[in-house]
Structure 1
Amino acid sequence: MSHQQALLLEGRNLYRQGQPALAISVFLSGIEESLDKGENEAIYWLELAHLFRETGQVERALALNQYGLQLAADDAYLICAARLGLAADLWVLNKPASALAMMQQSMENPALYECAYLLERLSQLYSLQAEWLQALGLLEKAIALYQNEPLALACCGLALLKLQAKAAVWSESVDGIAIVKKYMHLLPNCQREMQAELGHAYQALGQFAEAADYFSHALQLAKVQKKSRPRRLAAVEYKLRHMTSEIEIELLREKNVAQHQQVQELENVSFRDELSGLHNARYLAMRWPALLDRADETALCLLSIGIDHFASLREVFGSELAYIAYHQVARILQQHTPAKAILVSAGIGSFSLVLAGMDKAAIEQMAACMQLDVAHLESAHLPEPFSVGMGGAFFQQGDTAEILQLRADLALFLGQRKGQGQLLWDEATK
């Protein structure tokens, strides 16, 4: 392994472990060393671009990827990496035609299919476009090439579980559950997330005992984990600004109003689930801070809702029928949702409902009406009527959004184990 490869691996691993400030420092050191030796520093600029886009600084990422592409010369790997980065930037900036054209150019590059890291990046690009199956297939190929990089396998395994849940497809060739369980110790900052994703995976496979165990573990981790404060990157930012010179500084100063509006419009669109028309989990994540700020003043309740046996329904009767059922259930839930409540899609076949100012009796009455209307859906072709399970949890002092969600999810999965059409409260699981 060359010195440059070692630096890249070190920086990428630091970022995977949730240490972006240290990762930036490593990449900046690589730039300085390359300049001192008269070598091409393009790869480090491209790594910085990826890091900045992942942290929401898309305009900065775009400038760095453009600069990296200029430096790439005729290096096939660098050209491919730069184009993948530019495609992701353009997609986020609501330039789909330009993004897809850039993406197509990168996919015509043979270097792409020989590198696990580039395949992983292409998988992430497909995920941005909500093309779950394509993203899943590429990630499986990346995992096959990553056999000597345990930390990369840990991150890819976690991403694989998320993609499998979104695509509702479970790979026969790559066992995401086994990968995560084997390497999860390498990502101490992601333990709660990994436990929760394992719970989701086992639940989707119908292994409810295992699902409940992992959700319980995730909940315990959520209770003891202290809220970390974000690192301040002022010194590194200052150094980076000097090194990027006029290109980046001008871009940071020029906040074009039209471009800002385009980004805003993209965010509005991306807050919707295409199949149900409901807001999605990203929208709820944006609303949580305000909801939790008022949680002490009014009763705040979260219902985690899932269509009973949805995975089996999809497997036996096909995706088209399952999606129709999902859409119909979404409409019923929406009809019974109070005006000030927040109903979102939490993935195909599942929903989250946030209620404020309602007591348990009122919520149970509303839930009963929902379940009754769902049971009346046309289901002559099914062995038994449609039903939805629900898990409820009221906000408790000190709860974060993650803790509240985990308590509601655990109640849902335990309720579904007891039978169909159940509403189980969090306190009943203790």
Structure 2
Amino acid sequence: MTVTQEALARGRRAYELDRKHVFHSWQAQGPFDPMTITRTAGSRVWDGEGRELLDLSCQLVNTNIGHQHPAVVKAIQDQAADICTIAPQHVNDARSEAARLIAELAPEGLDRVFFTNGGADANEHAIRMARLHTGRQKVLSAYRSYHGGTQLAVNVTGDPRRFPNDSPGEGVVHFMPAYTYRSHFGSETEAEETTRALRHLEDMITLEGPANIAAVILETVPGTAGIYGPPPGYLAGVRELTRKHGIMYIADEVMAGFGRTGAWFAVDHWDVAPDLLTFAKGVNSGYVPLGGVVISEPVYETFVDRQYPGGLTYSGHPLACAAAVATITAMREEGMIENAARLGREVIGPRLEAMKAAHPSVGDVRGLGCFWAIELVKDRETREPLAPYGGSSDAMNAVLGAIRAGGVLPFANFNRIHVVPPLNIADADLHTGLDVIDRALNEADAHVG
């Protein structure tokens, strides 16, 4: 597929206008040189020069069904011809059906859906619900986590994006999560990490006062923070601690949900049911902004006769919900969840293990489904990262430059490359992309001490 001269000209005009008028997120505005995208289709995008790139980033890990899926595009078009938008106090069939499908997929006992515009406000509202339900204020959240860019969500976040926005008055307390590769607790096995991390969390609950804590919020599998899945028994232990102390357990599935891990929700792998579950991104592959909170019956009961003090003009927007219905339907009909699990098990996992064996710069590979991380180090023994926490390095830039030069659009954070393809990517395309990453790791190997 080629990009027309007309499309390239539009892209050049778009770039000029962007640099004159657009203020970009998470960027110093001056030196930033954004890539122009002129076309998308399936697992590919085309840049402002007409160059084809295999999209192994899924943009911000949200285009779970790839770009321009025809069934979802048609659903948006059909909905626009019927009802483009309507105020959230009114019933509309797209929102009702989306809520039914999401509740059907969620863990047992979570049957009500509050729709938001994205993941950050989903987490904000989940915390608000937990605080109102419990009458408590504090929220416990893990370091090495990301929960969104709005005021409360960025304070709940446990990575450097929080630092410039830190507001102690938000009532957030951070703790060390279970993370076997970079264990804070000196663990040498997953069992040790589970035991020690849970003891630490219980100590934090005790020291902060259980009667003061409204919620513990956890990404089931942290995304941009490193795709480090919980060791066996950890999430069950968190669930037990929260029940013991009357604390709400909020599972942040904004990135991990809707098939990314090879299950509808990542909590399904560990058979854990939270009190509140947040979602966004993959629910409609990001085609129209949508997020939400799936609510357990006890939390719902709090607001049966008591007004919930929150809402959004675009809660359950018909175009977004129609896209969600079409996305979930396509995932089911095309077996995308099962395919994601297969790709992780048969393609991505084995290939990354082979890369680890071949490249001394690879300290760890981990993941499940279509949700994997390659952690790059200067020294395997000391585990010194190839780029510092919260930053990048010339070595990482060289690796990423080689990946892009090979025709692949990567997702990276600090010293990691994340392998997060569409759930329906062709096996041949995935192998091609992994070949490019494999070759690019030679750049990282040159910096191993």
Larger relative contact order (CA 8 Å, sep ≥ 6): 2
Q: TM-score higher than 0.5 here? A: no
Give the greater-gyration-radius structure (CA): 1
